[in-house]
Amino acid sequence: MSLVPPPPTPSSLSLSPRWLLGPGPSEVHPRVLAAMGRPLVGHLDPEFLTLMDEIQDLLRYVFQTANRLTLAIPGTSMAGMETVLVNLIEPGDRVLVCINGFFGARMQDIAERAGAQVTVIERPYGEVFDPDEVRAALSRMGPKVVAIVHAETSTGAWQPIEEIARIVHEAGGLIALDAVTSLGAIPIEIDAWEIDAVYSGTQKGLSCPPGLAPISLGPRAVEVLNRRKTKVRSWYLDLTMLQRYWGSERFYHHTAPISLHYALREGLAVVVEEGLEARFDRHARNGRALHAGLAAMDLSLVTDPNHRLPQLTCVRIPPGIDDLTVRRRLLQDWGIEIGGGLGPLKGQAWRIGLMGYGARPSSVTLLLAALETCLRDLGYPLEPGAAIQAASAAYAEAGESVMP
């Protein structure tokens, strides 16, 4: 028998330390890393089933909902997006997708793959939708589902939702919300806003590794799911089966990624211990300090100040500065990862994330100092130390020290 020869014996895994300040994944909380090292149990072990119940209760708190159908999909946040859309959409359904960034366009693609008749309304990258725009589109086509992004990861735009949700319901539709960059960083009130379906990811505001996608469906969405005339166009993401595994029946569906569930449970526990209001305030303070420091370097942001996320900042790259040169040096010299622009912002913007555990003064001051050094060395005119001084002033105004 002929065998492929083995490669050289690999050494123990060794990776350079990184400061994850991009659009995701974000910094993982030390308690979450420790939880992932616990021994495995089976996916139907009574203790693991109890842990699943805990995760559901914790997710309901973070989503601010009493929805029974609240669980974590095995997969990244894009699995959450696909789960929500393919379970609510049947072939021929009319769907309205609101696109003001890269991830709205992905919702359009998935809805079309599910067989929907998709209508799109668009805003330029960095802008948000006015409720009247949505109302006008609804009057023209009467969709079954309206899909919209709450926090657009490609631009840092914060979309107001509550009035849009009311307008969608007045037109007889369901609203599906992308909360991938929202959850655990800015307020989300699924029940108060009457959101029918929402999905998120674990790798951003929850300070966990990627690999699970929290979702929640309200009563109207569950009714639509239960009245389907056709099978869901994904076996693996079919909520009619997944809810049987997460519910009291414990019907076998898949072998759950055990360690990722440990991580999610611990990450959610950290959120609960901190408290939602305190957590939102922390993200807001650090976001303001970062924005003050960037302004002191005369760097402009993509999104209007009235609709700007604190946890994800999209910075315009100044003329004469090369995107990759700066990002490579940040990574090589400081171990800092930030993201590049997507879509029309590719090569034109940087994306900086201050999410979950990463939203702290040490992240802000390190990044500002490193970015200032890179830009100064490339000949960009700025006042040395001005960024840190501006950030420190913002922290002082909020009554916080710049120390971590």
Which residues are CB-neighbours of 168 under 8 A, at least 6 positions away? 134, 138, 146, 174, 175
Does residue 9 carry a pLDDT above 60? yes
* Torsion 359-364-370-371 (CA) sign: positive
39 and 143 co-located in one domain: yes
The reported pLDDT for the residue numbered 138 is 96
**Where residue 284 sits, what CATH number does that domain have?**
3.90.1150.10
Non-local CB neighbours of 289 within 8 Å, separated by 6+ positions: 361, 364, 391, 392, 394, 395, 398
Instruction: Assign 404 a pLDDT band (cuts: 50, 70, 90).
Output: very low
The three-state (H, E, C) secondary structure of 161-198, written as one string: CHHHHHHHHHCCCEEEEECCCCCCCCCCCHHHHCCCEE
What are the b/e assignments for 280-295, b being 16+ CB within 10 Å? bebbbbbbbbbbbbbb
Q: Give residue 11's pLDDT band: very low, low, confident or very high (50, 70, 90).
A: confident
| Residue 209 in this model has a pLDDT that exceeds 50 | yes
Whether residue 191 is found in the same domain as residue 292: no
pLDDT at 403 over 80: no
pLDDT over 90 at 327, yes or no: yes
Last residue of a domain, one of 272, 303, 318: 272
How many structural domains comprise the chain? Answer: 2
Q: What are phi and psi of 59, to 5 degrees?
A: -65, -40
Does any domain span residue 188? yes
Judged on CB neighbours under 10 Å (0-12, 13-18, 19+), 194 is middle
Residue 234 shares a structural domain with residue 320: no
Do 47 and 63 lie in one domain? The reply is: yes
CA distance 65 to 32: 24
The answer on 377 and 280 residing in a single domain is yes
Both 319 and 256 in one domain: the answer is no
pLDDT band at 99 (very low <50, low <70, confident <90, very high): very high
Domain boundary among 239, 272, 305: 272
How far are the Cα atoms of 24, 129, 257, 265 from residue 76, in angstroms, in the given order? 11, 27, 12, 16
Residue 24 inside a domain? The answer is no
Residue at 21 is within a domain: no
Confidence of residue 14 (pLDDT cuts 50, 70, 90): confident
pLDDT at 370 > cutoff 90: yes
In 264-330, DSSP assigns E strands to 312-316
pLDDT on residue 3: 86
At 179, the pLDDT band (50, 70, 90 cuts) reads very high
Q: Which residue has the tokens 């914060």?
A: 158
Domain of residue 346: give its range. Answer: 276-397
95 and 162, same domain (yes or no): yes
- Look at residue 335 and tell me if it is in a domain: yes
CA distance 229 to 223: 12
Q: Do 268 and 280 share a domain, yes or no?
A: no
Answer for the pair 147, 178: CB distance below 8 angstroms, yes or no.
Answer: yes
Verify that 84 and 139 share a domain, yes or no: yes
- Percent of all residues in the chain with a pLDDT value above 70, rounded to a whole number: 99
C-alpha–C-alpha distance, residues 364 and 89, integer Å: 42
Q: CATH number of the domain at 229, please.
A: 3.40.640.10
Q: Which amino acid is at 19?
A: W
Give me the pLDDT at residue 377, please: 96
Q: Which of 254, 272, 290 is the last residue of a domain?
A: 272
264, 354: one domain: no
Is a pLDDT exceeding 70 seen at residue 402?
A: no
22 closest CA partner among 363, 354, 335: 354
Q: What are the angstrom distances between the C-alpha of 388 and each of 172, 296, 330, 356, 366?
A: 51, 9, 17, 22, 9
* Structural domain contains residue 103: yes
231 with 366, same domain? Answer: no
| Residue 103 shares a structural domain with residue 201 | yes
Res 401: pLDDT = 63
pLDDT in tens, 49-86: 999 999 999 999 999 999 999 999 999 999 999 999 99
Radius of gyration of the chain (CA): 22
Query: How much is the mean pLDDT over the chain?
Result: 96
The residue count of the chain comes to 404
Residue 332 counted as domain residue: yes
**Mean pLDDT computed over 315-319:** 97
Using one digit for the tens of pLDDT, what is the confidence trace for 128-148?
A: 999 999 999 999 999 999 999
